[in-house]
């Protein structure tokens, strides 16, 4: 099988939404000498892009987007990232995003959808989960040298924690290095401006556009 | 009208199916458990005899604890109005409609017709509107106090609501601290903590977060239970995101949330009044949004909810109104009627959200007035008909005979007076010629005029200056304590 065919197999496996099939296709490609970078960029990402296109046309649903993104992330984390680390090569993702739901808030469906969309768009996503203390965001930003921090909050009572994270980034001297975007039902453009966030998105698709704009990718 | 309204018993599930959902729920609570993000709540469950793990924060609740809780919860109680004529008698038959729900981040401005952030003044005005609408029996909100410091937003909303209605109030108060302030405000209005416990005129509204979790904010359940104040549960697992995509499975998740919360409440304060609920919203596959106007949400909040509640012999909390539509238009009307009629015909005891639009993202006073009419229609249908000598009117038919008319008959006039034919207050039945002549007004425009008239004319009895002062002081104290920046 040619390299192209192997990569196509990976892309097609993504469209099956079957984790085992994706992992299998990735393993076969690796075994046949395709580079991990190519598998990510020309295989998995291509599959994700097709899922995204089909979502736009209404053929696939949000659930497909999340499923494809989660499977892809697993394949990268489990198999491809270790390979990359071994060979000390770096991925050329659009950017590194640290994302999480702020402390005190355990609502994370919206955040999961945004994380999936960002991954599908080609960002490297570090999802810290929910109820994440400000210090955890800071730690991760430093550890992975992130470009963006994305903060989610659903409750009006936990909304203030978005400000707390921004302040923690400031006092750690990291604020200038990262863009901060905020989201969640009670979040508005005005709130984002008030707390000194760099961007705000009304929904997951918008979040991708906002990030691309902030990082001058468009 | 208040207190005599009866719902119906729309039934889709068999007894066996209800029991299956129930036993599946017990199994989930026993084997999977719920994750509790509050040490206080974890401790209560541990002491009650549940299997808790402080590391994983998982609480596995044995069957007997749930059965005990179900036994302790009262089947009947009263939710008091500041004015006793508005008292809500809670039993397994009576039904009541309520204005709005939790605070909405947006508000449809009455004058401009544009969305904007609501203010404390809006909370006061929508409360006054709800106080005036005849089919509205309890008050939540269709606005929010977004012009005050967010740390004390809820307290300002409580103040605006307390000052502007004599009807019973159902409202959220997330977290132990806000709950304590809200309870002291309510005590000030009631005349003391004992008076509040004796005649609670507020009810906590609480939404335990699915799937299978309890947040730190749920500590408000402990505070309200300690004060003997009723609690309305609103667990909504969203089919396809926070619950299985299949309604039966998602109902198990929501039911588990309700039974876990009920167990906590009854452990803290045995026989504390609780409204049960079991709701399942559809996750819209295209937008990921909680689909309020979905047939799935209408079905679960009415049929599943009421059938499970009747099985547990508990009163239940549900929905009227709440469209996905972003404007009080035809879609909004259709969605609101679907929800209201389904819940009414199922006999859901308290139905909230009248006046919500945009899937709960916004409030509309026009929509509240439209919902008031929809509630009236739903009630008329739920009432059914009587079949007896007087209503069969064979004498009258004989008397008028073939080819005659019934227009002027005494029987007609008498029954018209007692409401045999529903006469809409808002919806129009005029001819199209008359409608064109009157300026082709859309129903939301007619509703807008009604809102303006009510806001101009209606004002409920104010709280005493003394109590008003106390409320302001409590808020001031809270502001001093909570606002550090």
Interval A31-75: pLDDT, tens: 999 999 999 989 999 999 999 899 989 999 999 999 999 999 999
Q: How confident is residue A87, by pLDDT bands cut at 50, 70 and 90?
A: confident
Res A218: pLDDT = 75
Mean pLDDT of B253-280: 98
Per-residue model confidence (pLDDT) at position B1: 47
By CA distance, what is A57's nearest residue in B? B286
Q: Which of A58, A64, A101, A106 is the best substitution to test chain B (most B C-beta atoms within 10 A)? A: A106
Extents of the domains making up chain A: 3-86, 96-214
Model pLDDT for residues B31-72, shown as the tens digit of each residue:
999 999 999 999 999 999 999 999 999 999 999 999 999 999
Question: Using one digit for the tens of pLDDT, what is the confidence trace for B436-454?
Answer: 999 999 999 999 999 999 9
- Does residue A89 surpass a pLDDT of 90? no
pLDDT of residue B483: 65
Query: Which spans in B35-80 are helix H?
Result: 39-48, 63-72
Q: How many CB atoms lie within 10 A of CB B384?
A: 9
Alpha helices by DSSP H, B133-226 = 153-164, 176-190, 193-198, 220-226
The per-residue pLDDT of chain B, averaged, comes to 96
Question: Do the Cβ atoms of A204 and B288 come within 8 Å?
Answer: yes
Q: pLDDT over 90 for what percent of chain B?
A: 95
What single-letter DSSP state applies at residue B403? T
Q: Which fold has domain A96-214?
A: Rossmann fold (3.40.50)
Whether the pLDDT of residue B3 is over 60: the answer is: no
Q: What is the arithmetic mean of pLDDT over B290-302?
A: 96
Say if residue B223's pLDDT is above 70. yes
B interface with A, Cβ–Cβ < 8 A, is 37, 103, 105, 117, 150-151, 153, 174-175, 178, 209, 213, 215-217, 238, 240-242, 283, 285-288, 361
Nearest by CB to residue A157, choosing from B217, B242, B287, is B217
Q: Which of A106, A110, A204 sits opposite B215 (nearest CB)?
A: A106
Question: To the nearest whole percent, how much of chain B has pLDDT over 70?
Answer: 99
A157–B178 C-beta distance less than 8 A: yes
Residue-wise pLDDT for A93-106, tens only, equals 889 999 999 998 88
Predicted ipTM of the assembly: 0.86
Please tell me the predicted confidence (pLDDT) of residue A205. 83
Identify which of B150, B209, B286 has the shortest CB distance to residue A106. B209
Q: Could you tell me the pLDDT band of residue B484, with boundaries at 50, 70 and 90?
A: low
pLDDT tens, position by position, B349-388:
999 999 999 999 999 999 999 999 999 999 999 999 999 9
Lowest average pLDDT, out of A18-27, A184-193, B219-228, B242-251, goes to A184-193
- Which residues of B fall within a CB distance of 8 Å from A113? 288
User: What is the predicted pLDDT for the residue at B485?
Assistant: 41
φ, ψ of residue A89 to 5 degrees: the values are: -100, 155
- Tokens at residue B312, please? 């547990």
- Strand extents, DSSP E, B5-132: 34-36, 51-53, 58-60, 77-79, 88-90, 96-99, 106-108, 115-116
Residue in chain A lying closest to B38 (CA): A104
A105-145 tens-digit pLDDT: 888 888 998 998 898 888 999 999 999 999 999 999 999 99
What is the pLDDT confidence band of residue A206, given thresholds at 50, 70 and 90? confident
pLDDT band at B8 (very low <50, low <70, confident <90, very high): confident
Question: CA–CA separation, A106 vs B297, rounded Å?
Answer: 23
Look-up: residue for tokens 């449809």? Answer: B108
pLDDT above 70 for B17: yes
DSSP chain A: --HHHHHHHHHHHHTTT-HHHHHHHHHHHHHTT--HHHIIIIIIHHHHHHHHHHHHTTSS-HHHHHHHHHHHHHHIIIIIHHHHHHHT-----S-EEEEEEBTT----HHHHHHHHHHHHTT-EEEE--SSB-HHHHHHHHHHHT-SEEEEE--STTTTHHHHHHHHHHHHTT-GGG-EEEEESTT--HHHHHHTT-SEE-SSHHHHHHHHHHHTT--
Domains A3-86 and A96-214 share a fold: no
Fold of A3-86: 1.10.1240
> Can you tell me the distance from the alpha carbon of B182 to that of B174, in angstroms, rounded to the nearest whole number?
10
């Amino acid at each position: 099988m040619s390299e192209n065919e192997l990569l196509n197999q990976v892309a097609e496996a993504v469209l099956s939404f079957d984790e085992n099939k994706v992992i299998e296709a990735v393993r076969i490609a690796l075994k046949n000498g395709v580079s991990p970078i190519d598998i990510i960029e020309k295989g998995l990402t291509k599959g994700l892009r097709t899922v995204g296109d089909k979502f736009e046309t209404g053929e696939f649903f949000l659930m497909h987007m999340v499923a494809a993104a989660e499977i892809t992330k697993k394949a990268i984390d489990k198999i491809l990232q270790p390979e990359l680390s071994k060979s000390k090569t770096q991925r050329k993702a659009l950017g590194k995003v640290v994302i999480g739901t702020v402390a005190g808030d355990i609502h994370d469906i919206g955040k999961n959808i945004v994380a999936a969309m960002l991954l599908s768009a080609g960002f490297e996503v570090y999802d810290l989960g929910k109820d994440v203390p400000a210090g955890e965001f800071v730690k991760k930003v430093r550890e992975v040298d992130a470009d963006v921090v994305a903060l989610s909050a659903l409750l009006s009572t936990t909304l203030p924690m978005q400000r707390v994270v921004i302040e923690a980034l400031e006092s750690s001297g990291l604020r200038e290095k990262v863009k901060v975007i905020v989201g969640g039902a009670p979040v508005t453009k005005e709130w984002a401006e008030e707390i000194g966030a760099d961007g705000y998105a009304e929904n997951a698709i918008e979040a991708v556009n906002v990030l691309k704009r902030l990082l001058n990718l468009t | 009208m208040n207190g005599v309204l009866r719902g119906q018993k729309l039934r889709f599930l068999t007894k066996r199916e209800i029991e299956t959902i129930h036993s599946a729920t017990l199994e989930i609570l026993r084997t999977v458990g719920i994750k509790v993000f509050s040490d206080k709540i974890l401790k209560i469950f541990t002491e009650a005899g549940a299997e808790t793990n402080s590391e994983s924060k998982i609480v596995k609740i044995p069957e007997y604890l749930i059965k005990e809780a179900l036994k302790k919860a009262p089947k009947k109680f009263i939710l008091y109005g500041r004015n006793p004529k508005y008292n809500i008698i809670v039993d397994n038959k009576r039904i009541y409609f309520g204005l709005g729900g939790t605070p909405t981040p947006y508000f449809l401005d009455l004058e401009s017709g544009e969305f904007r952030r609501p203010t404390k003044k809006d909370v006061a005005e929508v409360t006054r509107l709800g106080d005036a609408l005849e089919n509205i029996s309890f008050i939540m909100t269709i606005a929010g106090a977004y012009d005050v410091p967010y740390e004390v937003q809820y307290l300002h909303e409580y103040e605006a609501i307390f000052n502007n209605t004599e009807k019973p109030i159902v409202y959220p108060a997330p977290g132990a601290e806000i709950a304590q302030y809200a309870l002291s405000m309510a005590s000030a209005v009631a005349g003391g903590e004992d008076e509040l416990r004796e005649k609670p005129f507020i009810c906590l509204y609480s939404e335990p977060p699915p799937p299978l979790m309890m947040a730190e904010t749920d500590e408000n359940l402990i505070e309200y239970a300690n004060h003997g104040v009723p609690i309305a549960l609103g667990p909504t697992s969203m089919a396809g995101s926070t619950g299985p995509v299949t309604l039966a499975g998602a109902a198990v998740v929501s039911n588990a949330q309700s039974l876990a919360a009920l167990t906590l409440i009854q452990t803290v304060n045995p026989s504390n009044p609780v409204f049960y609920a079991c709701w399942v919203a559809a996750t819209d596959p295209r937008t990921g949004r909680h689909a309020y106007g979905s047939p799935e949400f209408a079905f679960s909040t009415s049929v599943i909810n009421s059938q499970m509640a009747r099985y547990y012999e508990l009163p239940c909390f549900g929905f009227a109104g709440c469209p996905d539509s972003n404007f009080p238009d035809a879609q909004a009307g259709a969605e609101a009627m679907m929800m209201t009629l389904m819940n009414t015909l199922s006999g859901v005891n308290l139905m909230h959200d009248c006046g919500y639009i945009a899937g709960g993202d916004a409030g509309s006073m026009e929509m509240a007035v439209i919902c008031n009419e929809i509630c009236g229609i739903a009630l008329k249908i739920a009432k059914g008909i009587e079949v007896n000598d007087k209503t069969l009117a064979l004498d009258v038919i004989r008397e008028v005979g073939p080819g005659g008319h019934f227009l002027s008959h005494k029987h007609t006039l008498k029954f018209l007076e007692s409401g045999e034919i529903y006469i809409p207050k808002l919806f129009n039945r005029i001819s199209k010629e008359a409608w064109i002549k009157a300026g082709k007004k859309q129903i939301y425009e007619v509703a807008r005029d009604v809102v303006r008239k009510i806001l101009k004319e209606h004002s409920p009895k104010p709280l005493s200056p003394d109590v008003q002062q106390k409320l302001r002081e409590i808020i001031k104290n809270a502001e001093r304590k909570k606002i550090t920046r």
